[in-house]
Amino acid sequence: SQQGEEDPQALSIQEGENATMNCSYKTSINNLQWYRQNSGRGLVHLILIRSNEREKHSGRLRVTLDTSKKSSSLLITASRAADTASYFCATVEVGGSNYKLTFGKGTLLTVNP
Amino acid sequence: DAGVIQSPRHEVTEMGQEVTLRCKPISGHNSLFWYRQTMMRGLELLIYFNNNVPIDDSGMPEDRFSAKMPNASFSTLKIQPSEPRDSAVYFCASSRGPGQGSWGYTFGSGTRLTVV
């Protein structure tokens, strides 16, 4: 079953613009992670935010977490054509297995040069 | 580190045949996961191992699917007999512990399985 739901399903922007993707989830979580998947490749871990954190940065990435709304956002600033990929959020649930990541269906981001 | 290594990259097989997918996790990672990805269902966790022991196989769709991890550096996912609806990309991922859920996963490049 899907825990995270990304929004929008697809996003097309111009190079240099910012891209924002959202993720909603259903249960209490230990942490939330974002992954990127280029076409035909495996997923690459981008960033992890714990349930007691509200914001985290990594390079051009900014992730926020609102546990009261059970939602997270991923912001990519100054996008590049190479950022074109699918982006997935994944959660580790509280009370569940500490090993298990549940993924959403992803947002397909297209950055046009 | 070469990352998580999966083989083969592509597999085309006829319905009814046995298929074996292979995975070598990153050295030192204690947990190994098998996922299946399709357009319709997204990424589904099939089974995961911790210290070579299967912890949760509730995602394995049918008895036709089986997975083993005989040692810390090797795992297999077997489908016997294969069916067209098994066509998907199968990913292996590994993670280090303790508190594996607090670390990101490292994914392999996947095996694209087509059953005709």
Half-sphere exposure (Cβ direction) of B68: Cα atoms closer than 13 Å = 6
pLDDT in the model for residue B1: 64
pLDDT in the model for residue B81: 96
Q: Which residues of A touch B30 (CB under 8 A)?
A: none
The token pair at B64 is: 């036709």
Q: Do B42 and A104 touch (CB under 8 A)?
A: yes
pLDDT in the model for residue A92: 83
User: DSSP label at A113?
Assistant: -
Q: How confident is the model at residue B100 (pLDDT cuts 50, 70, 90)?
A: very low
- Is 50 exceeded by the pLDDT of residue A2? no
- Is 60 exceeded by the pLDDT of residue A89? yes
Q: Do B4 and A31 touch (CB under 8 A)?
A: no
Q: Which residues of A touch B103 (CB under 8 A)?
A: 48
Q: From the candidates A101, A102, A108, which should be mutated to test the interface with B, based on the most B CB atoms within 10 A? A: A101
**Per-residue model confidence as pLDDT tens digits over B52-61:** 999 889 999 8
Cβ neighbours around B33 below 10 Å, total:
28
What distance in Å separates the CA atoms of residue B107 and residue B95, rounded to the nearest whole number?
9
Q: What is the DSSP string of chain B?
A: ----EEE-SEEEE-TT--EEEEEEPPTT--EEEEEEEETTTEEEEEEEEETTEEEE-TT--STTEEEEEEETTEEEEEESS--GGG-EEEEEEEE-SSSGGGS--EE---EEEEE-
pLDDT in the model for residue B70: 96
- Is 80 exceeded by the pLDDT of residue A96? no
Residues of chain A whose C-beta is under 8 A from some C-beta in B? 2, 30-31, 33, 35, 41-45, 48, 50, 88, 92, 97-106
H helices of chain A, in order, are none
Cβ neighbours around A1 below 10 Å, total:
7
Residues of chain B whose C-beta is under 8 A from some C-beta in A? 4, 31, 33, 35, 42-43, 45, 48, 50, 55-56, 91, 93, 95, 99-110
User: Looking at chain A, which residue has its C-alpha nearest residue B43?
Assistant: A103
What distance in Å separates the CA atoms of residue A18 and residue A32, rounded to the nearest whole number?
21
- Which of A42, A92, A102 is closest, CB to CB, to B107? A42
- Is 90 exceeded by the pLDDT of residue A56? yes
Q: What backbone torsions phi and psi does residue A32 show, to the nearest 5 degrees?
A: -130, 140
Note whether A89 and A70 are within 8 A (CB): no
- Is 80 exceeded by the pLDDT of residue A35? yes
What distance in Å separates the CA atoms of residue A110 and residue A105, rounded to the nearest whole number?
16
- Is 70 exceeded by the pLDDT of residue B73? yes
Cβ neighbours around B75 below 10 Å, total:
25
Q: How confident is the model at residue A99 (pLDDT cuts 50, 70, 90)?
A: low
Cβ neighbours around A87 below 10 Å, total:
23
What distance in Å separates the CA atoms of residue B73 and residue B20, rounded to the nearest whole number?
16
Q: How confident is the model at residue A1 (pLDDT cuts 50, 70, 90)?
A: very low
Q: Do A99 and B108 touch (CB under 8 A)?
A: no
Q: From the candidates B38, B56, B105, B111, which should be mutated to test the interface with A, based on the most A CB atoms within 10 A? A: B105
